[in-house]
Amino acid sequence: MDVAQWLQDLGLANYTALFREQAIDADVLPSLTDADFEKLGLPLGHRKKLLAAIAALEPAASSTASIRRPSYAERRQLTVMFVDLVGSTSLSTRLDPEDMRETLTAYQNTVAGEIARFDGHLAKFMGDGVLAYFGWPRAHEDEAERAVAASLATVEAVDRLRSPDGRPLAARVGIATGLVVVGDLLGTGAAQEEAVVGDTPNLAARLQAVAGSGEVVIAEQTRRLIGGLFELEDLGPCELRGFAEPIKAWRIVRKRAAESRFEALHTAGLSPLLGREQELGLLLERWHLARNGEGQAMLLAGEAGIGKSRLIEALRERIADEPHTRISHRASPYHTNTVLWPFIDQLERAAAFERDDTPPMRLSKLVSLLAQGTDDLTEAVPLIAALLGIPTEGRYPPLDLLPQTQKRKTLEVLLAQLEGLAQRRPVLSVLEDAHWFDPTSLELLGLILERVQRLPVLVVITFRLEMTPPWPSFPHVTTLTLNRLPRRAAAALVEQTSGGRRLPPALMDAIVAKTEGVPLFIEELTKTVLESGMLRNTPEGLALVAPRGALAIPASLQDSLMARLDHLASAKDLVQIGAAIGREFTYELLDAIAAREPADLDQALARLVKSELVFQRGTPPEAVYTFKHALVQDVAYASLLKSRRSELHGRIAAVLEARFADLVARQPELLAHHLTAAGLADRAIDFWLQAGQLAGGRSANREAISHLTTALEMLGNRPPTDEQLGRELEVQIALGPPLTATKGFAAPEVEAAHVRAEHLARRFGHRRHLVRALRGLCYVNHVRGRILRVSELGSELVDLAEQSDDLVMQADAHNALAFNLFHQGEHQSAREHLEISSAKIVQAGDPANALSRGVNIHVFGRAYRAHVDWHLGFADAALRAAEDAIDLAHRLVHPFSMAVALAYAAMLHQFRREPAEVRARADAVRSICAEHGFSYYHAWATIMNGWAVAEDGDVEDGIARVRVGVRDLRATGAELRLPYYLGILADLCRQAHRLEDAVVTLAEARAAAERNEEHWADASLHLLEGDLALATQERARAEHCIRRAMEIAQVQNARALLLRGSTKRARLLAEGDRRAVAYDELAKIYGSFTEGFETVDSREARAVLDGI
């Protein structure tokens, strides 16, 4: 190429000699930067013109050409730009073909230059159309913004072109953003091109047709991504050919003038700052020092999205009412080689330059701006005007300086401006994104840092962690690195972003876990969830419409996350393989999957670790790698084609089985996951079952449910052969216990699992599984209060169990009968079956091994024995049984068994009227249940806690707590013990003198007892009715109720309640001058007891006898 001719064509022939002197030929041109041209003394306007022309010389040699193309086609978010030459058909009929060729070439070169300037990828020329991609083969964090900026620059540049007949040319642009598959090569030879599959290119092409001459039109997804960076005109829904529904479109008016990029992206306003109180306090402290003349500087470092800009906005808000001058500089990734661009941009914004300003108007605005900082404009104006490319038109003497001298004086003027402003009032100077500053700007920053220590100025410089500040240390400079938000602040930010609406706890936990304390990630993922349609409003907050799948990667984060991966070049495919393996992967497994040469693998992994996308523990070959961000793993995985994912998962599964048998034995869910993702469903089901059984055995109930539910879903997609139904039986049997623990015994899901298991077990004649299914159904019906149904099931259960040689199974069958008999009020029979059960368990061996349906049945049996014994009048034996249950549960380290033992102990102490002990046991139960999700026993413990609180003096709070517990209990489907719980509530209402509430609640308790044939609490309810009668001075009715309670207790052999009733009756008789009768009756009953003399009931009885 003839460089001299090229310069002449550009209208810059005056630089021909300079280029020749500096040995700048066609080979050197592509490597020249703005800094190079500045050193040669070229003004800004000519520098920009030359850079654009260089970019247009060889579109194929643009920055994206040197980027390593992905080895495979990928799924990516892409912003597509489609440019059309307006009126090209008219041009072709008007011009000679050769002239038309030259016109098209000039147009294409111009468009290609602007695309390259913003690091877009020129996909292809299509006659008068140009197709460009932003986001492939290398992504940047702001692709939509780049595409819009390139489009505006393109229409401006094309507008300056003229056809051979002197008429102006014009372009129009359409832009769309969306998910595509990109990277496949179609065609051969010169016709070969990179194909993009998806509707995004079509949408961009159709929007181009909507645009008028010189206009840029964008689709909705692009509009969301650019936020408030540009002024827009809403075009409303547009009917586009090939699209069934109207498409919303917007016209770009101009770039919005904003103090910072952060401000432009948050035009809707800012929510309160969370989790940064200490950091804001430090900034305010430094500001107060600076304001009083001790200049300060803060170097604010942190990863992208960590909240640097938000913290600065908070500082600005806090000092808004104080007199000061604000100066804001911002860097741009497009101008990292443009000399002093952050300062040029700030000056142009501060001077309020408009697009249509003439040079004289700009010069006048510049003079006014500079006058705010200096009275001597003679030197300042020409230097800064030259920096901004503004001709001085004879108003100021021309500059006749060597380039280095001009640069030095320009920096001095900029420093003097800062100093002049600070002499008038304190200055807050913010310089954001210093990692994108050009070398000269960094040099100027160093001079500013040195100068401000003598000025009332606070300088705040933000940058990302990958940048090492190049300036020396100064005592007035403080470095602050922002860390990720702690979990509580992250959760608060989720709630704040959702407008104060409460998200389902599991969804909240998922968002917090996925975003890992990065505020931008938290906000964007929360918004994505809120806009996804997966939630609906309820009076209690937001609820899931349906079971949620994986959380989608926010479109606003796709480009920035993908950009981090694209920077890895040859290591990128390792990231994708690692993402397929999981959040954590080992060197050994990656080596087996990647099939690279050891040196190549080590080099690529070193680069990966250096990028800080993954952390490394240990050294190869024992090294373990973990993704720093879960979202980075997600985007790496999402970029893989489905076919590629399936292939990788198949390879991972094969390697796991062949070389990592121990790992598979410990974590079968790993192999199950990869087999599932590889489409190998038959084998995956077996490993999901193994994983569920293993998790259930470890009390990891939520995980067990997840694994087993996955197996059931996969079985549901298979033909219902006997083989598949047999596998389903195994899964349903395994699913019952973890569902019981987390959902409660009476939950519909628990019943469904056991009903299905019963049906399948009967079909296949599987006796052991039928026993397990019937035991599960006994639990379901028992806790639902279906006492008679349990009697029917229990008889068959015992018959079947006794036919087996499994002593634990037999023991559990007797437990089922015993539990039910207790609630029928048949305490002695219940005790007999519990004794049979205990004997069988001891005969079987260590009681610690007596696990059935997810609970240790010896713990359960001893817990029930405590309640039975207390009713039978053996208070001390009851206490020993409860302690036995707790001791065994402690030895087992089995959370659900411990929850059972403690819950029954809490209720035993409530029988014994010992509030301190009740509270201690109930609080322990609630802690375990909250940690492990045991909803049924959590509700039980809440009721017990409420009773204890009331007994300690706060009756109203106690009532409220009991009501919550009853509500939560009913939510699990449970009705068992409901008469007793409602009796507790009624008695507390009596104590609070809310007699009407007490009467209503007591009636509800009795109705529940009759409905369910649950009679063990009947005597207690009659005693309560007697207390209510006494509260209304109805002594005769009270005596009748107490007598009836004693009759029921006598029949049930509930001697503890008989003593309690006899004590109440004795008081009444003694007050009615029947002291002898009272003494004889109470003394007879009291004398029948052989233990429990230190209980409250025993002491009260002794006191009444002594009083009589």
Least confident interval from 25-39, 363-377, 610-624, 759-773: 25-39
Residue 519: inside a domain: yes
Residue 59 has pLDDT above 60, yes or no: no
Q: pLDDT class for 69, splitting at 50, 70, 90?
A: low
Residue 267 has pLDDT above 60, yes or no: no
Overall average pLDDT of the 765-782 stretch: 95
Last residue of a domain, one of 438, 454, 481: 481
Residue 64 has pLDDT above 60, yes or no: no
Containing structural domain, residue 292: 275-481
What per-residue confidence (pLDDT) applies to 61? 37
What per-residue confidence (pLDDT) applies to 188? 47
Instruction: Render pLDDT for 928-973 as a digit per residue (tens, 0 to 9).
Output: 999 999 999 999 999 999 999 999 999 999 999 999 999 999 999 9
588 and 531 in a common domain: no
Residue 750: inside a domain: no
Q: The tokens of 292 are what?
A: 């009083």
Residue 248 has pLDDT above 70, yes or no: yes
Last residue of a domain, one of 426, 450, 481: 481
236 and 133 in a common domain: yes
What per-residue confidence (pLDDT) applies to 264? 61
Angle separating helix axes 341-350 and 377-388, nearest 10 degrees: 110
Residues of the chain with pLDDT > 90, as a percent, come to 69
What per-residue confidence (pLDDT) applies to 260? 64
Instruction: Render pLDDT for 485-540 as a digit per residue (tens, 0 to 9).
Output: 999 999 999 899 888 888 888 888 888 988 888 988 888 888 888 887 888 888 77
Residue 691: inside a domain: no
Residue 976: inside a domain: no
196 and 78 in a common domain: yes
Residue 210: inside a domain: yes
Do you find a cis peptide bond into 323, omega within 30 degrees of 0? no
What per-residue confidence (pLDDT) applies to 258? 67
What per-residue confidence (pLDDT) applies to 269? 63
Question: Residues, the chain, total?
Answer: 1108
754-761: long-range pairs with CB below 8 Å, 24+: 754/780, 756/728, 756/732, 757/729, 757/732, 757/733, 760/725, 760/726, 760/728, 760/729, 760/732, 761/729
Q: pLDDT class for 42, splitting at 50, 70, 90?
A: confident
Nearest-angstrom CA–CA distance, 181 and 638 = 11
Q: pLDDT class for 89, splitting at 50, 70, 90?
A: confident
507 and 394 in a common domain: no
Residue 60 has pLDDT above 90, yes or no: no
How many domains does the chain fold into?
A: 6
Overall average pLDDT of the 985-1012 stretch: 96
Residue 329 has pLDDT above 90, yes or no: yes
What per-residue confidence (pLDDT) applies to 324? 96
The DSSP element (H or E) to which 21 belongs, if any, is: helix 16-21
Instruction: Render pLDDT for 188-199 as a digit per residue (tens, 0 to 9).
Output: 444 445 678 999
Instruction: Render pLDDT for 350-361 as a digit per residue (tens, 0 to 9).
Output: 999 988 889 999
Residue 879: inside a domain: no
Q: Let me know: does 69 contact 137? Beta carbons within 8 Å.
A: yes
Q: pLDDT class for 62, splitting at 50, 70, 90?
A: very low
Last residue of a domain, one of 659, 688, 723: 659
239 and 362 in a common domain: no
Q: The tokens of 62 are what?
A: 């643009």
Nearest-angstrom CA–CA distance, 1093 and 1077 = 23
341 and 456 in a common domain: yes
524 and 456 in a common domain: no
More confidently predicted of 243 and 263: 243
Residue 187 has pLDDT above 60, yes or no: no
Q: Looking up tokens 């000269």, which residue turns up?
A: 440
What per-residue confidence (pLDDT) applies to 334? 77
Q: pLDDT class for 262, splitting at 50, 70, 90?
A: low
Overall average pLDDT of the 230-241 stretch: 93
Overall average pLDDT of the 1052-1067 stretch: 96
Q: Give me the CATH number covering residue 288.
A: 3.40.50.300
Residue 777 has pLDDT above 70, yes or no: yes
Least confident interval from 282-286, 403-407, 805-809: 403-407
Least confident interval from 128-142, 185-199, 450-464, 623-637: 185-199
Q: pLDDT class for 259, splitting at 50, 70, 90?
A: low
Q: The tokens of 384 are what?
A: 């800064």
192 and 140 in a common domain: yes
420 and 308 in a common domain: yes
What per-residue confidence (pLDDT) applies to 523? 85
1027: Cα separation from own chain's centroid:
54
Overall average pLDDT of the 872-884 stretch: 97
Task: Give the CA angle between residues 259, 260, 264 to the nearest 5°.
Answer: 95
Pseudo-torsion of CA 420, 423, 428, 431, nearest 10°? 30
322 and 463 in a common domain: yes
Task: Give the CA angle between residues 561, 567, 572 to the nearest 5°.
Answer: 85
Residue 455: inside a domain: yes
> Does the predicted model carry a pTM greater than 0.85?
no
Least confident interval from 219-233, 242-256, 540-554, 825-839: 540-554
Residue 28 has pLDDT above 80, yes or no: no
Q: Give me the CATH number covering residue 629.
A: 1.10.10.10
In terms of Cα–Cα distance, which of 244, 171, 170, 174 is closest to 202? 174
Instruction: Render pLDDT for 1014-1058 as a digit per residue (tens, 0 to 9).
Output: 999 999 999 999 999 999 999 999 999 999 999 999 999 999 999
What per-residue confidence (pLDDT) applies to 27? 66
643 and 533 in a common domain: no
Residue 756 has pLDDT above 90, yes or no: yes
Residue 473 has pLDDT above 90, yes or no: no
Q: The tokens of 266 are what?
A: 């948050």
Overall average pLDDT of the 32-51 stretch: 79
What is the Cα gyration radius of the chain?
40
191-197: long-range pairs with CB below 8 Å, 24+: 193/123, 193/124, 194/123, 196/78, 196/80, 196/123, 196/133
Residue 1008: inside a domain: no
Please report, for residues 174, 355, 574, 685, 859, the alpha-carbon distance to residue 160 in angstroms, rounded to integers and kept in the order given. 20, 15, 47, 66, 88
213 and 79 in a common domain: yes
More confidently predicted of 464 and 393: 464
Q: pLDDT class for 585, splitting at 50, 70, 90?
A: very high
Nearest-angstrom CA–CA distance, 207 and 196 = 17
Average pLDDT, the chain: 90
Task: Give the CA angle between residues 57, 58, 61 to the nearest 5°.
Answer: 140
Instruction: Render pLDDT for 674-701 as a digit per residue (tens, 0 to 9).
Output: 999 999 999 999 999 999 999 998 889 9
